[in-house]
Every structure is written in C-alpha cells, then in structure tokens.
C-alpha cells in the first residue's frame, strides 16, 4: 500500500514538473486582424498553421478595417477567451496602444504583427524593413525614369508603415528633387489604404492635368485604383507604377504591362517567426536577446525585421512569386 501511495505521489510530482516546464497543450493565442486586403488572408492562415502545429489553440477576429470593431473584438477576447498571448495587426498604430495596455493589465503578452503599436508596453514587434521597401519602390522606378513628374500615393495616415515607406521613398527621391530632375505632382496619404480613394485621387488629377511619368503607389491596392484611373482616362503613355504585396491582380497587371513592379514579401517567414515568438511568451520563456529593437515611444521594443523582401517586375516574376507558389501561375498567365 505504501509503495502504491509513493508511486502516486511520484507520478503527481512528475506531472507538475512537466506542466511547469511547458504548457504548450493549453496555450491560447488570439489574433486581432485589423485590416482587410488579400495579403492578410494569407497571414491569418500561415499564423494559424504555425501556431496549431505547435499545439496552440488559435482564436481569430477580423475587424475589416474598423478601429472601433477591432477594439470591441479584442476586448471581448481579452475578457472571455483566457488568452496567453494576443497578436495584433492594428488598424491604427496609436489607438491600439489602449488595447495593449488593457491586455497587459490582464497578464496577457502582446505582439504587434507587421504594424507597430505606439506608446504602450508592447512585448514584441515583427515586421519587414518598411523603409527598405519604400526605397525599393522608388529605386525601381527612378532607374527607368530618373527625370520627370512623380505622383505619390501613400498608405493610411494612421498606419505607421505608411510613414516608414514614405521615408524610404524620399531617401531615393530627395536628391533627384533637389537636382531638379524630379517634380512631385501629387502627394497624398490614402485613408484605409482604400483603392477606391486612390482611384478618385488619380481620376481627379487626370481630369485637370497631363498624366505623370510615374506613380509611386505604396501598395498593390493603391496601384489597382491608380491603374483603373489611367485606363479609364485612356492614357496612352507608359506611366510607371509601383506597388507592394504581390497581390494576384497586381501580378497580372505586371505581365500585361499595366504595372511596373511590386514588392514580394515572404509573409510565411514573418508568420512563422511570430508564431514561435508567441509560443515562447506563452511559456514564459525568455525571447532571444539577439533581436533588434524599435522605439515605440514608450520603450525599446524587442523586434524582428524579416529580411525576405524582393522587388518583382516582369523579368523575375516567374522565378519569385510563381516559383515559390505564392501566386498560382494560371491565375497570372491564364491557361
């Protein structure tokens, strides 16, 4: 009998030890997805896959671009779902700070995914080098047309990435502007990265002015709007057009000659890193001290800036997005 009780106690202690080491089985990760464009659907499925394959339970809420809805959904998850970690793609980089503070007050770790969240006690930030992406867009177009009139269609003013992209674009453009080679004829930030608004801006411009030589659109959604306005206005000249995200219709525009380039970001790498980080935080394990840091106004946030970003034009589309299986060949080239 004594041996039996001793065995039970030993088994109980071993269970406790295992439970203390890693609680992968009970980990619950919330994903609060603010924006809604083609790429984010992929981010959700990569994140879910990489988290579930480490036995975490994943809860996803999509706010369809509404800051108010994102706050409501995130609060609900924080209160009801016993989260260990909350991954947020904020609609607005400032407003989401309140959600981070609320989650932290309930002992939930928070990761900002792709877009930083400012002025709060964020645990970790993962993104690409958005300044470099902006540089790539401007480099690609200015190599083809180092002189001329340029329109700038930037992203949502509330998304910090819009600012970083613009810094990168201006790193390349500013010397050419000072030299008098390039003139900026449109300079707008497009609310909610909305392609309809980008379309209207370019439509209004083309109604009164000659087409510009180039349009630096910060995303493929914005290039969709710009391209539609150019086609409708019957513009014959080859207006250079940039983008970002390697969305399906942007890749089609590139092979059809209606868009010059996009930036392909290997978002599966970003999602895999974020999933690993979430599991570390959930297990209360230290995150690597080799990370870079990004100042969010409150602290130097441990950060990962994934380096897989590739400018894609007609010349390398097959060996990049198609070869990687990111976009289906048939969808771009037809049968």
Q: How far apart are CA 148 and CA 115, in angstroms?
A: 32
- One residue of 115, 166, 253, 258 binding ligand GAL per CB under 6 A: 115
Tell me if 262 contacts ligand GAL by CB under 6 A.
no
Q: What is the DSSP string of 264-306?
A: EE-HHHHHHHHHHHHHHHHTTPPPPTT-EEEE-SSSEEEEEEE
Give CA separation, 210 vs 149, 213, 230, 234, in Å: 10, 9, 11, 12
Q: How far apart are CA 229 and CA 235, in angstroms?
A: 9
- One residue of 62, 123, 245, 249 binding ligand GAL per CB under 6 A: 245
* Phi, psi for 75 (deg, rounded to 5): -60, -40
Size of the site for ligand GAL (CB under 6 A): 13
In the complex, least distance from residue 35 CB atom to ligand GAL, rounded to whole angstroms: 4
Of the candidates 138, 3, 34, 22, which has an alpha carbon nearest to the alpha carbon of residue 84? 22
Tell me if 192 contacts ligand GAL by CB under 6 A.
no
Tell me if 219 contacts ligand GAL by CB under 6 A.
yes
Question: Which CB, 37 or 203, lies closer to ligand GAL?
Answer: 37
Tell me if 159 contacts ligand GAL by CB under 6 A.
yes
**By CB under 6 A, which span of 74-82, 155-163, 251-259, 303-311 interacts with ligand GAL?**
155-163
Tell me if 158 contacts ligand GAL by CB under 6 A.
no
For residues 77-99, one letter each, b for 16 or more C-beta atoms within 10 angstroms of the residue's C-beta and e for the rest, the string is bbeebebbbbbbbbbbbebbbeb
- One residue of 189, 244, 260, 296 binding ligand GAL per CB under 6 A: 244
Tell me if 243 contacts ligand GAL by CB under 6 A.
no
Give contact residues for ligand GAL (rule: CB under 6 A).
35, 37, 39, 114-115, 155, 159, 161, 193, 219, 221, 244-245
């Amino acid at each position: 009998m004594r041996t039996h009780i001793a065995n039970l106690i030993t088994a109980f202690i071993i269970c406790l030890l295992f439970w203390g080491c890693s609680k992968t089985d009970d980990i619950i990760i919330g994903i609060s997805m603010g924006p809604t464009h083609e790429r984010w659907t992929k981010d959700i499925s990569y994140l879910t896959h990489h988290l579930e394959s480490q036995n975490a339970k994943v809860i996803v809420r999509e706010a369809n671009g509404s800051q108010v809805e994102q706050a409501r959904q995130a609060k609900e998850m924080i209160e009801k779902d016993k989260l260990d970690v909350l991954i947020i793609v904020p609609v607005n980089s400032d407003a989401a700070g309140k959600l981070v503070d609320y989650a932290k007050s309930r002992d939930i770790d928070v990761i900002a995914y792709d877009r930083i969240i400012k002025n709060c006690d964020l645990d970790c930030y993962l993104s690409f080098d958005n300044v470099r992406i902006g540089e790539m867009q401007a480099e690609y177009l200015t190599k083809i047309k180092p002189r001329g009139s340029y329109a700038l269609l930037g992203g949502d003013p509330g998304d910090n990435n819009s600012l970083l992209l613009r810094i990168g674009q201006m790193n390349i453009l500013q010397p050419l502007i000072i030299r008098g080679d390039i003139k900026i004829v449109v300079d707008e930030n497009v609310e909610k990265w909305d392609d309809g608004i980008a379309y209207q801006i370019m439509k209004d411009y083309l109604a009164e002015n000659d087409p510009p030589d180039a349009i630096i659109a910060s995303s493929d959604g914005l290039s969709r709007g710009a391209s539609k306005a150019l086609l409708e206005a019957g513009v014959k000249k080859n207006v250079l057009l940039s983008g970002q995200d390697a969305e399906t219709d942007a890749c089609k525009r590139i092979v059809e000659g209606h868009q010059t380039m996009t930036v392909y970001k290997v978002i599966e790498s970003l999602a895999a890193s974020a999933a690993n980080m979430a599991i570390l935080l959930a297990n209360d394990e230290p995150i690597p001290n080799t990370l870079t840091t990004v100042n969010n106004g409150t602290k130097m946030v441990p950060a990962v800036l994934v380096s897989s970003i590739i400018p894609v034009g007609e010349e390398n589309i097959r060996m990049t997005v198609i070869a990687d299986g990111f976009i289906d060949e048939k969808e771009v080239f037809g049968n």
